[in-house]
Amino acid sequence: MNNKGRSLHFILLLLFYFFALLPVVLFLINMPQPNALVQQLPNANSTNNWNNREQILNIYSQWQYQQDAYLLYFVIYLVVVSLLVIAVSRRITKPLRDLERQATAMAEGNLGTAIKSPPGSWWSWREANNLAKSLETARLKILHSYQELESQVAERTWDLQVKVHQLSQAEQKIQATNKALADALALNERQRVMLQDILDNMPVGVLITRAVNGDPEFINHHARQLLDFRASGSDYSSRYQIYQSDRSTLYSAGEIPVNASFSVHRGIYKDDLFARRPDGSFMQLYAQSTVIYDKVGQVELAIMIFDDITARKEIERQKSEFVSVASHQLRTPLSGIKWFAELLLDKRVGKLTDKQRSFADNILQSTQRLIVLVNDLLNVSRIESQRVGISPEPLDLLVLLKKLREELTPLWSVRRQTITITATKPVPLISLDPKFMAEAFTNLLSNAIKYSANEAEIKLELELRPPDVMITVSDLGLGIPLQDQSKVFTKFFRADNVVKKETEGTGLGLYVTKRIIEASGGTITFWSQENQGTQFIITLPLAGSPQISGEKRLI
Amino acid sequence: MLTKSIKVLVVEDDPFLSKVYQSSFSASGYVMDYAHDGHEALEHMRTFRPDIVLLDLVMPRQDGFEVLELMQQDVSLAGIKVVVLTNLGQPEDKAKCLSLGAVDYLVKTDIAIMDLVAKVKEYVG
């Protein structure tokens, strides 16, 4: 509050005093002085005039008296006037002061209390009352606008609170999303690290290349060790140091098994390859590769898994060599027995009794069975060691089957069986290994003969079913019991019913046959019912079987 | 009987098989000689001068392949026919022997002894 200026009391008093004192002062100035009165006395100039002296004293005492009376009147007058002024000014200032106090309170924010009008009486002044009323109106207006403001503020505040709430909810959502995202990323990262760890710690080589340029995308630890991998260099083959089976020719870029799978597309590409060790020696690797497609089905990556099979191959080689040597050693005395039996049966060395002849015949037949068994064992050993190569050449299957039928004449003619060979349409020449095919169909045909009754009919049918040719070998013989059917293609399997009949067999024929047909790119299935017959269904690709290099051929 | 004695050299390390050859060929009137390994076979060829040799492949000291190679280098041995009789059934072995001058390649377990006699007769007849 501004305290400058004088209070109204003070100003009024000052005015009153000035105008009240002025006439007094003027009166006092004009009041007849005793000296003047004395001068008016007779003999005024005589100082020794006792009359005068008395009169003079009288004048002075009267003047003195008058002066004292005037002073008293004056003091009373001052007091009365002062009281009056104070009363009047109070009358003026009190409502103002009240208003001032209330306005101050209002200014300090106390808008709740109504402005009181000065107490009304005949002498209360209207202006103060009006001022109070105006102030009250102002207060009410201020109060109203304040309340309005407050309600607006409250409204805005509510809006704000709502917005703040919405924001905080949105923020929570964002935080939750962020957390989920971070979790997902962490999981992703963990999975990536885990995948890398798994791949790196796998005891096989893993090489992943990009379809775009054949560049490596990932090479695991084992693969780097196996391939003596050089990260630099533009020539893939020298980078990978992968050699073909001759151990001197590096694979060209497109032929590297992992990249070869790009052209194969579907399925798994398998190959043996060689890698040179730092010391110059070679190790044999077995590689399998396949391609990985992206979301739109485009080939994106190729993955090759490979392992050092040098030791395994060496064991296989030794095993195969052992079987091969053992078989060869067996075959020499077997040919001796066979030939001696033949000599015994030859009329030139002397005539035998019927019984002797029968015994010699049995020796010959048993020996021949033994020779077949040894040959089968040798073939199984070679097929299993994958040392048997496939050398396809254009082959007329119909001619081959007719030739086999003729070769097997001793088996079926004595039992007066018939073998019919039919082809629905002319079968084109197919690129197949003749020795393989002869072995497979001899096995099937001799089984059919063996397990058929005398005078039975055996059917060989050829049918074109592009992209394959289908060959069925059907008989009406013993059939394969249901419980044995799952074991038909396993090694040394012989069905219960044929064992009981004491027919000869090694249990290797169908095993070898299946291996041959599958190695040639074909399939073999069968249908059979005990005592009703058996039908073997073979498919071979018209495109021919792939060429597989190998050191050995079938016997 | 044959007008001229035909000389057959059997190169075989297995004595039982030698006996089979002896029994089957002697009856047909051939003059027989026997060697038990490759080294002996070459010596006998020079002294015995056979018309035909039945040559085993797997033998001690020098094997049948070496015998064929050495025969090619020795002009004095030219004209002696060689029939390889073995139990090695691989096409590669057969091709190798034929390329080294053998007239035939027979697998012991696959041929009947009388068929062998007939084959030899065919080659020297």
**Per-residue pLDDT tens listing for chain B (125 residues):** 444 688 999 999 889 999 999 888 877 788 999 999 999 999 999 999 999 999 999 888 888 999 999 998 988 888 899 999 998 877 778 889 999 999 999 999 889 998 999 999 899 87
| C-alpha neighbours within 13 Å on the C-beta side of residue A442 | 19
User: What does each C-alpha distance from A422 to A425, A445, A448, A467 come to in angstroms?
Assistant: 9, 15, 16, 20
pLDDT for A234: 44
**Separation of alpha carbons A241 and A173, rounded Å:** 55
Q: Do B90 and A553 touch (CB under 8 A)?
A: yes
The distance between the two most distant Cα atoms of chain A, rounded to a whole number of Å, is: 233
**Separation of alpha carbons A327 and A345, rounded Å:** 26
| C-alpha neighbours within 13 Å on the C-beta side of residue B95 | 4
Q: Tally C-beta pairs within 8 A across A and B.
A: 50
Q: Name the helix (H) or strand (E) containing A474.
A: strand A468-475
- Residues 2-61 of chain B with CB under 8 A from chain A are 14, 16-17, 20, 23-24, 27, 58
**Separation of alpha carbons A240 and A246, rounded Å:** 16
**Separation of alpha carbons B110 and A460, rounded Å:** 27
Dihedral pair phi/psi, residue B4, rounded to 5°: -120, 135
pLDDT < 70 regions, chain A = 1-5, 32, 37-38, 40-52, 120-124, 228-241, 245-246, 252-267, 278, 385-389, 500-504, 547-555
- How far B76 CA sits from the closest chain A CA (Å)? 32
DSSP secondary structure string for all residues of A23-54: HHHHHHHHSPPHHHHHHHSTTTT-TT-HHHHH
pLDDT tens digit string along A84-113? Answer: 877 877 777 777 778 888 888 888 877 778
**Separation of alpha carbons A404 and A443, rounded Å:** 10
The angle formed by the CA atoms of residues A133, A135 and A139, to the nearest 5 degrees, is 115
Contacts of A41 (CB under 8 A, 6+ apart): A52, A55, A56, A59
SS (H, E, C) A136-201: HHHHHHHHHHHHHHHHHHHHHHHHHHHHHHHHHHHHHHHHHHHHHHHHHHHHHHHHHHHHHHHHHH
**Separation of alpha carbons A17 and A86, rounded Å:** 12
B118 touches chain A (CB under 8 A): no
pTM above 0.80, yes or no: no
pLDDT for A506: 73
Residue A371: which of A341, A403, A332 has the closest Cα?
A332
The 10 Å CB-count burial string (b at 16+, else e) for B60-77 is eebbbbbbbebbeeeeeb
- Residues 349-368 of chain A with CB under 8 A from chain B are 349
Q: Are A282 and A261 spatial neighbours (Cβ–Cβ below 8 Å)?
A: no
Residue A365 zone, left/alpha/beta (φ > 0; ψ -120 to 50; rest): alpha
Q: Which of B16, B84, B87, B94 to mutate to test the interface with A (most CBs of A within 10 A)?
A: B87
Provide the ipTM: 0.89
